[in-house]
Amino acid sequence: QSLMTKQNFYKFSFEELKNFLTEKVGIEKSKVKMRAQQLYKAIYQKGLTSFVDLTTVTKDLRKELDNVLSLDLPKIIKTEVADDKTIKWLLELNDENKNLIEVVLIPSKTHNTICVSVQVGCAMSKSSACIHCATGTQLLVKNLSASEIVIQMMIAKRYLNDFGDQKLIKRVVCMGSGEPLTNYQETKQFIKILMEPEGINMGKKSITLSTIGVPDKIIKFSDEVGAHLALSLHAADNKKRDEIIPINKKYPLEEVIKSCKYYTSVVKEKVFVEYTLMSGINDSSEDARKLVKVMNQFPSKLNLIFMNTWPGCNIKPVSEDKTSEFAQIVKNAGFIVTVRRSGGASEKSLSGCGQLRTSSLPINKKI
């Protein structure tokens, strides 16, 4: 069989894999659960990279699996390690245009966090680009498929040799390039695959989805997924937010707040409010008080983010003193506040929040 007919293994949930093995490989129903478990375990828990090495099944079956399934990972084009040991990989996808995506591995003393991308470019680009984000300066090239998001996880797992019981990657954040809720189905499938007990077996509490706020999708996410939600707020009134996050004109703050209330009532978790401080734009004590008013409307805690600049960006970060002042106003109102200096953020490595920007560009296909 030609490569074209091979299905990518990483796109299947456990149930879908069972169906595929029955329908396409002809495994009888009485054995299919066991076979699917063997595969899921071997690949996600033991790091199998080739069906030829799957010694728990017959040679014929190995060959058959190799004919119909692909375990290919993208090519690593570039690896960059920042001073704080944050790693950023530039990956070339196996799609027809060889699109590039970035994935970031953020180490801490106790565990690793992986930051995955969900789009090539960003749906919030062009007229709706967020002013403080380099990723938004790119056009949306395409939505990633679930398998193209899962393979980012696999690149990091192989790098760390994160197999067996050690679970070195403890957290996954959908905060790389792209707006996850405008690629809802594939992001949802990715999270489902992460949570499969037979495979990577992550809990909901280990997964955070970051969004600029797409109200109808936040409601779906609350009902269907229920992992942690991070809201990129960056301004606490519509006028300012329209300027910083132009999509706010389409999804005004009132609607976003309503959907966050729904999320907290269904999922029973606080919303992480993400707020990037930008000098002279959203950093006054009045801004902090307005932020408190918004946060008072649903259970929440604050991630205050240092503005990460990039070449050509004319927004300035806020001083340490001013940041502390701003944080204190929100703390005094009774909220948990974390001041986050983003992992990997320097103009040299550009792997911090809002700095991911690949050189993938929209390619006009010749008709």
Write out the catalytic residue numbers: 102, 353
What CA–CA distance (Å, rounded) separates 351 from 110? 21
Q: 176-192 b/e with 16+ CB inside 10 Å = b?
A: bbbbbbbbbebbbbbbb
What CA–CA distance (Å, rounded) separates 356 from 108? 20
Q: Give me the amino acid identity at 292.
A: V
Tokens of residue 310, six digits: 């990039």
* Rg (alpha carbons) of the chain, rounded to whole number: 21
Tokens of residue 177, six digits: 């390039």
Give the helix ranges, DSSP H, for the chain.
Answer: 14-23, 29-40, 59-68, 146-160, 184-195, 215-224, 238-244, 253-267, 285-295, 320-332
Tokens of residue 330, six digits: 């929100």
Q: Which of 246, 241, 299, 37 has its CA nearest to residue 128?
A: 246
What CA–CA distance (Å, rounded) separates 221 from 210? 12
Q: Which residues, in sequence order, are CB contacts of 137 under 8 Å at separation 6+?
A: 125, 129, 357
Q: Which of 271, 198, 172, 204 has its CA nearest to residue 231?
A: 271
Helix%, strand%, coil% for the chain, nearest 5? 40, 20, 40
Q: Give me the amino acid identity at 199.
A: G
Q: Which of 10, 65, 7 has its CA nearest to residue 43?
A: 10
3-state secondary structure of 271: strand
List the beta bridge partners of residue 208: 173, 228
